[in-house]
Structure 1
Amino acid sequence: MIWLIGLGGSFGAAARYILGTIINKRAQRLFPFPTGTWLINITGSFLLGFIANLHLSNQIEDWGWFLFGVGFCGAFTTFSTFGYEVIMLLQSKEIKLALIYVLSSIILSGVAAAIGLYL
């Protein structure tokens, strides 16, 4: 199973990097905080909730959970980048923006995961 997690993780990390770069370039003028990580964490939380539901209801087997849930979603979403971006906002004296980023990320990711789980 470890190989499935690694394979899924490699695709998840690559997808995060590519999508994050594209989103940040396009959203830079519209949103003042790290939109790529924000959107990726929210959509990744939704996807993980959805895949977890499929696994818990025996609609996908363990290998699918390890490949897509643990591997892909685990690497696609990122707490370390989120933490780094919060520190960068705080060091730039963007306290209000950092607070909005943190709260909206946590709340919306949790809601997205719950929606994915219940769909």
Structure 2
Amino acid sequence: MTVLLVALGAAVGAPLRYLVDRAVQARHDSVFPWGTLTVNVAGSFILGLLAGGAAAGAVPGSLTAALGTGFCGALTTYSTFGYETLRLAETGATRLALLNVTISVAFGLLAAAAGYLLATALW
């Protein structure tokens, strides 16, 4: 049953990642991967919220599997982050590549912590 919940969450997360990435990137006239940054930070926040809710006993394991592993796992994308960072470096945009790494890691961690803290405050 858990595998089906993960698959269901992923079936929603993957197309949403694509749509959000394209919508955000279309609004920016830049080679910086704003769309990937957006989905990764949003997914980190949601996962932090779920983890905090699970730690407080307010979010059941089945929901954590569907939304945490399935949805957030498909929404966020480490491979695209890595590819886009290398592409920036290869095309001579070394500063943007370093900025992408710094912002992605820092904001992802901050978003996860904020989600966790919000959940523990609520529950």
TM-score (norm 1): 0.94
Identity %: 38
The alpha carbon displacement at 1:15 in A equals 0.5
Unpaired runs of at least 5, structure 2 = 119-123
The equivalent residue for 1:12 is: 13
- Give the equivalent residue in structure 1 for 2:44: 45
C-alpha displacement of 1:32: 4.1
Inter-partner Cα distance in structure 2 for 1:86 and 1:32 = 10
Q: How does 1:1-119 map to 2 (within 5 A)?
A: 1-27=2-28, 29=29, 31-119=30-118
TM-score by length of 2: 0.91
The runs of 4+ residues in structure 1 deviating greater than 4 Å are none
Deviations, residues 94-118 of structure 1 (Å, cap 9, x unaligned): 1011000111100110011001001
The whole-number CA distance in structure 2 between the counterparts of 1:2 and 1:79 is 22
* Paired residues, number: 117
Letter in 2 for 1:85: E
Provide structure 1 residue ranges, at least 5 long, that are not aligned to the other structure: none
CA RMSD, aligned part only? 0.9
